[in-house]
Amino acid sequence: MEQFRLPKIPMPELPLPESIQAVCREAEEKLAHRPKLLRQFLNCFPNTLTTTTKLTDDGTTFVITGDIPAMWLRDSVEQVVHYLPFAKRDADLQRIVGGLIRRHIEMILIDPYANAFNETANDWHWNATDETEMSPWVWERKFELDSICFTIRLAYLYWQETERTDIFDANFKKAMLRIVDLWKTEQRHFELSPYRFARDNGIPTDSLRNGGLGMPVNYTGMIWSGFRSSDDACDFHYNIPANMFAAVALRYMREMAEWVFRDMALVKELTKLEADVDHGIQLYGIYRHPEFGPIYAYETDGFGNYCLMDDAGTPGLMSIPYLGYAAADDPIYRNTRRFALSKSNPFYYEGKAAKGIGSPHTPPGYIWHMALSMQGLTATTAEEKLETIAMLEATDADTGYMHEGFHADDPTSFTRKWFAWSNSLFSQLVYRAMKEGIL
């Protein structure tokens, strides 16, 4: 994603909501003994609001990913989700988050296959020659199963936190029905799907093979995905963490259908789809590893082939408890976590400065700050949480912000100096540690 050269969208700085100012004042007291960590938190916690968020005249909210002038469904949710605990009594935050949910729903109705969108129908695209059905609203049309799951996650958590139902309008119901149709289609991708994607830029992970269809898969009940949360093409197109996330999202939608829309026929349809996806995960997504025991694979094709790895992006195997699919003490998750944090994971690196998970999206030897933050968020001991916070604190290259990837031996060699999602995830970890009293 570092190749883009168009000018940035000017994003006016928003006045910080009072609840966010209060958190910053709290941090000044509780982190006074760790001045570098305090500086990082005060930079990172409000970063989404101060640099990437725009309130639009139509009542929606547009959130760019940072150094790219487009809104990723996935990134924009994770850029604001750490503000949700403060939204119940803060009307300004409700305007921001509620507006973002409405914008997401509008975009999904325009194109449920797209992963990133423009603020207006300006016909800007990551690559203008992509072989797929583009819209002037769409920045990029890589079908990533997790993208829509993040929209549902934000709507559900916002509803649970604030008890507000004004986001659940006719468009929201229409989008839910569109999502169900989409996911049922992609359960049988080769038989039913109109989706194709190819990009002729010389980067194999930016394009789907087999004429834009992707590699063959067997029916499993899971939902096909073209690309991973890193925006890289899947090796095998049943991405297990994304399907876990879809199972959770279907459960959330089932609650919405029952308690908000009172549509029991939709409840029944969502229940069946969730059961199909979960059955597929349990039947096809578990690999019997000779060292770690049963673990969740990262991807499978349903023919008995597996991709055994973990990627720093969310959803990943590390983030399973964060997504709400299984508890942190689940035996298969514990085995999977040990695998992911070992050299058996081809994208786990250890160096002079840090150890952690990277990604094929960045060069070999590069650990992601997001992976360290997620490791801390899903850790079950204070010791591991503090260890990951210490690594995050020490590897910012004295910029005061988190990045995408950094070299395990040299944190001054890093990618993406302005990556708001990474800042937000770090802030979420540090704030939780503050509230737990372990910092």
- 342 vs 339, 345, 377, 387, CA distance in Å? 5, 6, 18, 16
Q: CA-to-CA distance for 316 and 241, rounded, in angstroms? A: 5
Element holding 296 (H helix, E strand): strand 293-296
φ, ψ for residue 408 (rounded to 5)? Answer: -60, -25
Sole residue written with tokens 């935050």: 93
CA distance 112 to 143: 8
At 407, give phi and psi (nearest 5°): -70, 135
Query: H-type helices in 163-204, by residue range?
Result: 170-186, 189-192
Other CB atoms closer than 10 Å to residue 119's CB: what's the count?
A: 20
Distance CA 305, CA 292 (A): 18
- Residue 130 CA to residue 198 CA, distance in Å, equals 6
Quote the crossing angle between the two packed helices 369-377 and 382-394, to the nearest 10°.
160
Alpha carbon distance 289, 296 (integer Å): 9
Phi, psi angles (nearest 5°) of residue 405: -110, 150
Amino acid at 437: G
Q: How far apart, in whole angstroms, are the C-alpha atoms of residue 121 and residue 137? A: 4
Query: What local confidence, expressed as pLDDT, does residue 150 receive?
Result: 98
Distance CA 58, CA 115 (A): 22
Q: Coil, strand or helix: which one is 290?
A: coil
d(CA 72, CA 76): 6
**Rounded average pLDDT per 10-residue block, the chain, 439 residues:** 44 84 97 98 97 96 92 98 97 98 98 98 95 97 98 98 98 98 98 97 94 97 97 97 98 98 98 98 98 98 98 97 98 98 98 97 96 98 98 97 97 93 97 96
In angstroms, the CA 267 to CA 420 distance is 36
Which residue's entry shows tokens 């990045």? Answer: 403
Domains of the chain: 18-436 (1.50.10.10)
Q: How far apart are CA 333 and CA 317, in angstroms?
A: 8
SS (H, E, C) 362-403: CCCCEEEHHHHHHHHHCCCCHHHHHHHHHHHHHCCCCCCCCC
Tokens of 330: 């689940």
**Distance separating alpha carbons of residues 194 and 16, to the nearest angstrom:** 44
